[in-house]
Structure 1
């Protein structure tokens, strides 16, 4: 038998006897094991462990392992799994407890799938336990095709939800991991997709440390994320996957990161073929390893032997790069059979189990945002005639987003609606139009059919055919990004035609992973819902919400502008004029906005310890919320800080806290926020943070403050305090 064969004879290499290991702390014990196995590898074997498709080493009992797996919103690209909403929809939930539960569910399914894959000797891509998720880049421009993968435009919201996902994924054991999460793409990566292999980003230090890095810092220091992925682009002239400033100085030295760093796929090749920093593959590989990269997704590290032979690296450099990788596999309990790992043998029955279905349905419900409701919703279940229109109503691709798995119980929007109405209700469905092509004349008759309906539910929007990663979106001229935020004329023309008859109400449901131009859509519709990509339960969730079996609670995690024409240039990475923090106008729907089936008012905001506050203890903020409606609602109360010199050297306002609050009909509830003093600090021009002296304002509201928010009737209450 070869049980435990990996370390047969390894005690000869250890500095302490085998019996002494049991008395060592687990971390130190495993570090000794990692060093011992590395010491027995040949140079060729070491190189083979530094690439994502790691070779097996039979004589050491090391199985082949592919480090590349995906789990953005469920185990992806690996067969059957529960599919949760795309992260931009999870951002709209403002619910870190829910996101934690999703992370836990995903990793449990991952464990079960991994065990089965091992039994059938599937050691290939997407079958491992190291997941390159979450994406905590900032959605700084609505045209970015990969914005759907993020939690939105705010660093604090992104960091909070990303940290919750990581903790759920990795588990709570002090040493072992249920699965390894990865914070990507580090750093300053958010388009343009077509230029990502050659682009050099030179953000000001204030923008770098105020916007682009905070979420990564939270995942490292609070989430203890096991991996970080370097981006494709350059930052200050160096590849983000080969920058000693990013990977060593900030990530490891300043933040104390202990895990492993992986390149984005092909990013090391970009060092010499895209960015032209190096002259050869060997030189590019050496640059990356010296900068702190541990693992390459790609094949340029195949030149590492050559780099050692040329004196560009030493074998000791490779040993150092290997240590975090061996530790990750030991934490997962998969480098050798490890009965001490508490996450072994997850049952296959957990995949797609009822508990996970319920979580996915709740997430889909909480993700959808009600943007307009002119006394139309909720619909009555005994409605006489309902007309449902649009290809998205029956095509589950409009619910999947990207980096998706395959569920065995996908629900269409049409099926979810049909499940809610009475047996006597007449429902008709027509595709009506083709989303990415001019409207065909032989579909015009459906607008005539719709005239007799009491309510028309129209599904329009985007799918992965028009937005996504580079090369994914087939209808985009920007290789994944969109050139503007307008929907196709075929969709808008249909809505215009439908509106010509004012005898029926129109509920428009918009799909997609990024902002769209809502001006005309809102004008022509009686109600508007932003559904995002809600995953497998999206159809049932839309039925729950439209017919009142659940209430809308979702809030926009990104500003919806009126037009992209007045936004800063897409390739300008300055935050000036971007996101709610620096936008004063051109706002159609503000960050944090969303309606409920009630009306909540805010009053009596008070900083309890204002008179004695000196910035050294938590700020105690109280506010009273009142539900003026006749239905119970869940309100997302948001706290925004306006610091001295607001809008000049600091953001106009910054989100510093939020909470989901359940309010019964006519109920008043006073809630307290305890805000850590570091959240009041402002980033300076040199990238450092400090607590500024002067007058501060905190506003508690249902959306980011501003003139457009006031126009929309969002309630708020504010308080002030002074730091001398």
Structure 2
């Protein structure tokens, strides 16, 4: 009997060795799952655990090099040296241009591959050297006080979905077998600060808000864009930590949406289970809880405790195998173990980094992101041969206001002052004095700045904030609230500074840099013209100058609502959507979502609905005319909104269901067609289910969302139509 058992064991061992010999994870002709399984079978349990943390060591005997999963490319390849710096994410959202965003994503991934290729050639494989990029951030910017809102695509789930899908597709490429880079959707889910509480906070939301606002963008990136990664947030959602959330991670992400990528914790988030949330007592409990829930990768080192978790029976080696396999599937999709010459991206050279083409694209993106909020008496554009321009303010030469956060660096970052100097005619005099500090009153009380405005034909006052004031928990070094803002106005010293300038200035143009919505009641009243330029990237100064002097017509639109005061907002810690964003606010905003002016005049006319009554499940087709009646060739951002007038539950006052950037020459007109599909008519009930109810629906079409302040702001008059679902 013993001899028989020994023979069986020997046969099994030899069969296992033979299977390993026959198994080649570098063979592109076998399936992805087989190749990943092949790797897992050849690893010891200690080696497997080491592969579950972002900084993975090499497995020399299998010729698997070390790899660090942590890389960033929010608006350009970040934290790895020279790269093209595009406008911050919120600025790209302000373009409302999905084709442009796709091109930006494609340019970023091209530079990413070039940098990876040269890093690998020199044996550099540490942090910020890999091809797994933890971008984009598709959280909903529900409250302007959140410092990381600048990383998002704004407050609307539909706009965020469309911009996010385009960006991910641009990053990941369209090769049938290999990813160009691996994009990631973060922070899943329901994550919007407060930054100071994120390691212990429980974001409590209704199922209606969860599915109506917080999840749609993640769903779109998974189901439409095929995003390769998802990152769990620091916070809890309705009691469970987002990196060990059975409902969100398994029932929704894997089962309902069919996600087949890797899930990673935010950095240090699993440690928060016992240090912040205090839902377990030990690292081994935290590690097992996250792993068992489906968190494949730990950004951090808590998963080093998984060996103890195994000893205590808190998890199994099968669970470890499942996660290791998922991670190697991503690396295989990137072609990291493919035969030489099999992956077309391996030949991309460093010549593409900050190529002329990419610089031109960064300029285009920055131009299209600029939002014109006021232009009294056609103050803008300014004549290039104007006699004297006075440039002043704390952000005129502030490079950080170009970079935002999660940035790369460039040898040619153009500030607003430099852009203006490079744009005006040789006979134009440009004078510059900073005049004010960014966030505190001048310590020297002498006024050597306001008098210069009196002799200038135009004064350009550059105000706003930067990553010093708003950003992530530890990086906004001038923030008193861990990167968040307590107030939505500009720092008081800047308001006081502008009052002095206004007293002397003949024509006052105010340029605002910011990554969030800033309440500007005093600024709006004082300015003759007002531009919102976000954090516009390396070409930002040139883009602003192009708009100021008429080489570009402003066409950006607000991806957020600008409230009049922080008093118009619910408490920051409250995640209920009631009273937030253009979809649910009851008070009038200062500037509505989607708003932005132009140098030309557009008109909407002749709205025709193919039918005013349709059966449930049928679409409604409509058309209208758009005309450029002004003197400038320009783009209009046409926006489509819907309201369910007779819903059985509380619904948004209006919801964006479509948009289209349309370029028209001066005097040109075009007919635009749009189809309202049954899915666009659906509402979300109190259980989080999408349903289509019979009744009356209202459609609004215009250059912004509908608001009672549109007329006084000079917004284009939109069109309204109604139809009934039987």
TM-score range normalised by the length of the shorter chain:
over 0.9
Q: Is the 8 A contact 2:569 2:579 kept in 1?
A: yes
Task: Determine the C-alpha separation between the residues in 2 that align with 1:606 and 1:354.
Answer: 45
User: 1:266 is matched with which residue?
Assistant: 268
| Range 111-120 or range 443-452, more displaced | 443-452
CA, structure 1 residues 505+494, in 2 after alignment: closer, same or farther (shift >3 Å)? Answer: same
CA, structure 1 residues 23+321, in 2 after alignment: closer, same or farther (shift >3 Å)? Answer: closer
- 1:59 pairs with one of 55, 61, 71: 61
Task: Determine the C-alpha separation between the residues in 2 that align with 1:19 and 1:50.
Answer: 19
User: 2:622 is matched with which residue?
Assistant: 621
CA, structure 1 residues 42+663, in 2 after alignment: closer, same or farther (shift >3 Å)? Answer: same
Instruction: Answer yes or no: is 1:468 the counterpart of 2:474.
Output: no
Task: Determine the C-alpha separation between the residues in 2 that align with 1:22 and 1:494.
Answer: 65
Alignment partner of 1:116: what SS? Answer: helix
- 2:192 pairs with one of 190, 193, 216: 190
Query: For structure 1, which runs of at least 5 residues remain unmatched after alignment?
Result: 1-8
Question: Displacement, 1:340?
Answer: 2.0
Instruction: Answer yes or no: is 1:389 the counterpart of 2:392.
Output: yes
User: 1:686 is matched with which residue?
Assistant: 687
Instruction: Answer yes or no: is 1:199 the counterpart of 2:205.
Output: no
CA, structure 1 residues 23+65, in 2 after alignment: closer, same or farther (shift >3 Å)? Answer: closer
Count, aligned residues: 710
User: 1:656 is matched with which residue?
Assistant: 657
User: 2:169 is matched with which residue?
Assistant: 167
Instruction: Answer yes or no: is 1:494 the counterpart of 2:497.
Output: yes
String of CA shifts for 1:256-312, please: whole Å, max 9, x gaps.
000000000011001111111111111111110111100000111000111111111
Alignment partner of 2:607: what SS? Answer: strand
Question: Displacement, 1:659?
Answer: 0.2
Task: Determine the C-alpha separation between the residues in 1 that align with 2:490 and 2:35.
Answer: 57
User: 1:637 is matched with which residue?
Assistant: 638
> What is the TM-score of this pair, normalised by structure 2?
0.95
Task: Determine the C-alpha separation between the residues in 1 that align with 2:388 and 2:545.
Answer: 16
Task: Determine the C-alpha separation between the residues in 2 that align with 1:598 and 1:555.
Answer: 15
Question: Displacement, 1:667?
Answer: 2.0
Question: Displacement, 1:23?
Answer: 6.4
String of CA shifts for 1:132-189, please: whole Å, max 9, x gaps.
0000000000100000000100000001000100000000012210000000000000
Alignment partner of 1:589: what SS? Answer: coil
Question: Displacement, 1:646?
Answer: 6.3
Task: Determine the C-alpha separation between the residues in 1 that align with 2:629 and 2:469.
Answer: 41
Task: Determine the C-alpha separation between the residues in 1 that align with 2:221 and 2:509.
Answer: 39
Alignment partner of 1:393: what SS? Answer: coil
Q: Is the 8 A contact 1:169 1:178 kept in 2?
A: yes
String of CA shifts for 1:61-96, please: whole Å, max 9, x gaps.
110000000000000000000000000001100000
Q: Is the 8 A contact 1:386 1:428 kept in 2?
A: yes
Alignment partner of 1:108: what SS? Answer: helix
CA, structure 1 residues 85+10, in 2 after alignment: closer, same or farther (shift >3 Å)? Answer: farther
Q: Is the 8 A contact 1:11 1:18 kept in 2?
A: no
CA, structure 1 residues 692+711, in 2 after alignment: closer, same or farther (shift >3 Å)? Answer: farther
Task: Determine the C-alpha separation between the residues in 2 that align with 1:31 and 1:432.
Answer: 62
User: 1:342 is matched with which residue?
Assistant: 344
Task: Determine the C-alpha separation between the residues in 2 that align with 1:301 and 1:425.
Answer: 63
Task: Determine the C-alpha separation between the residues in 2 that align with 1:721 and 1:11.
Answer: 69
String of CA shifts for 1:564-612, please: whole Å, max 9, x gaps.
113100000000000000113240000000001111111222222444x
Task: Determine the C-alpha separation between the residues in 2 that align with 1:292 and 1:607.
Answer: 48
User: 2:703 is matched with which residue?
Assistant: 702
Q: Is the 8 A contact 2:57 2:65 kept in 1?
A: yes
User: 1:484 is matched with which residue?
Assistant: 487
Task: Determine the C-alpha separation between the residues in 2 that align with 1:10 and 1:545.
Answer: 68
Task: Determine the C-alpha separation between the residues in 1 that align with 2:513 and 2:628.
Answer: 30
Query: For structure 2, which runs of at least 5 residues remain unmatched after alignment?
Result: 1-14
User: 1:402 is matched with which residue?
Assistant: 405
> What is the TM-score of this pair, normalised by structure 1?
0.96
CA, structure 1 residues 213+599, in 2 after alignment: closer, same or farther (shift >3 Å)? Answer: same
CA, structure 1 residues 22+170, in 2 after alignment: closer, same or farther (shift >3 Å)? Answer: closer
User: 1:13 is matched with which residue?
Assistant: 19
Instruction: Answer yes or no: is 1:417 the counterpart of 2:420.
Output: yes
Q: Is the 8 A contact 1:84 1:363 kept in 2?
A: yes
Question: Displacement, 1:614?
Answer: 2.7
User: 2:4 is matched with which residue?
Assistant: none
Alignment partner of 1:560: what SS? Answer: coil
CA, structure 1 residues 316+627, in 2 after alignment: closer, same or farther (shift >3 Å)? Answer: same
- Describe how 1:283-432 pairs up with structure 2 within 5 A: 283-335=285-337, 337-374=339-376, 375-432=378-435
- Describe how 1:557-568 pairs up with structure 2 within 5 A: 557-568=559-570
User: 1:35 is matched with which residue?
Assistant: 37
Alignment partner of 2:286: what SS? Answer: helix
| Range 433-442 or range 681-690, more displaced | 433-442
- Describe how 1:523-672 pairs up with structure 2 within 5 A: 523-611=525-613, 613-645=614-646, 649-672=650-673
Alignment partner of 2:660: what SS? Answer: strand
Q: Is the 8 A contact 1:635 1:662 kept in 2?
A: yes
Q: Is the 8 A contact 2:649 2:685 kept in 1?
A: no
Q: Is the 8 A contact 2:172 2:180 kept in 1?
A: yes
Q: Is the 8 A contact 2:27 2:338 kept in 1?
A: no
User: 1:6 is matched with which residue?
Assistant: none
CA, structure 1 residues 189+661, in 2 after alignment: closer, same or farther (shift >3 Å)? Answer: same
Question: Displacement, 1:524?
Answer: 0.4
CA, structure 1 residues 161+615, in 2 after alignment: closer, same or farther (shift >3 Å)? Answer: farther
- Describe how 1:86-235 pairs up with structure 2 within 5 A: 86-235=88-237
